[in-house]
Amino acid sequence: MVGDQNYPLSALTSQPIILQLRLPRLFGVILVGILLSISGFLVQLMTKNPIAELSTLGISGGASLGMSILLAFGLSTNAGFSALVASIGAFVALFLVISLTARTHFQPLKVILVGTSVGLFATSLASAVTFAKHDSQSYFLWIVGSFSGMTQTKVILLGFTTLIFIILLILFANSFRILNLGDEMARSLGLSVNQVRTVMMIMVAMVAGATVSSVGVISFVGLIAPHLAKKVVRSNFWQGIVLSALTAIILLICADFVARNMMKPYEFPAGSLTMLMGAPFFIWVMSQEAK
């Protein structure tokens, strides 16, 4: 109803701007919230780190690097191909972080330090590539994170990704729960820890590729939503998943609403708002963990 031009409820089913722009955008916000929150939940489970998410582990930086290569060299940026390239970049970044921190048994501080370093390196490399190709403005639109460019094609891509992601989540839910007991316990129960972690990495990389190629980098949603959910449900896996998704959806709908209406007719990037909320939340979580 609310935007650059407001509409009454009675006009929502007849206005082209609602059906072609605002409704796909709303669906996109919901799907991105589901993907980012559950992937954040999984990486926190995988690394035993309550402050891990796509941004703090360098995964978003890897996906951004993949997008920058497409933009800089004039390759196809259609939804499917760009999501694939961004997913490869995200997987490589996550693989580096996991490989470099496995010997430390994923100590939270070292995971964050390595993840942040990998993410900053990837982002810097992406910035250098796009600057050298005089395409930094296009890259900036992917970095800040915004739902303004949401299209029906991107909604279909996000919906398809969400479907595959949830199917994999259901298939491997028991393995994920066992992994949460610790590596030694999981191995004693006959679980292939490396195989399960690889599945998690593929799932998270797929999410990063689809979301970054569709809306850019939306930071801290994968940190805030799972953390709040775990405060409520503690140890229940599926309740934590569902509550994380609902929390993220509400958070992103509010962020997008403010972004669209705060500076009308101009739009503030929703990703910047999530960073404004996420940064102090991140500091608070760090202070709690240090006690």
What are the domain boundaries of the chain? Answer: 36-290
pLDDT computed for residue 51 by the predictor? 81
For the domain spanning 36-290, the CATH number is 1.10.3470.10
Query: Residue 168's pLDDT band (boundaries 50, 70, 90)?
Result: very high
How much is the mean pLDDT over the chain?
87
Six token digits for residue 183: 């590596």
Q: Is 43 exposed, middle or buried (0-12, 13-18, 19+ CB in 10 A)?
A: buried
Query: Residue 266 gets which letter from DSSP?
Result: B
Query: Residue 284's pLDDT band (boundaries 50, 70, 90)?
Result: confident
CA distance 37 to 39: 6
- pLDDT of residue 139 exceeding 60, the answer is yes
pLDDT computed for residue 248 by the predictor? 96
Q: What is the pLDDT of residues 41-60, one digit of tens each?
A: 999 888 888 888 888 889 99
Q: What is the pLDDT of residues 73-112, one digit of tens each?
A: 777 667 788 898 999 999 999 999 988 888 877 777 788 8
8 Å CB contact between 63 and 213: yes
pLDDT computed for residue 290 by the predictor? 57
pTM over 0.75: yes
Q: What is the pLDDT of residues 222-271, one digit of tens each?
A: 999 998 898 888 778 999 999 999 999 999 999 999 998 888 888 888 98
The more confidently predicted of residues 155 and 288 is 155
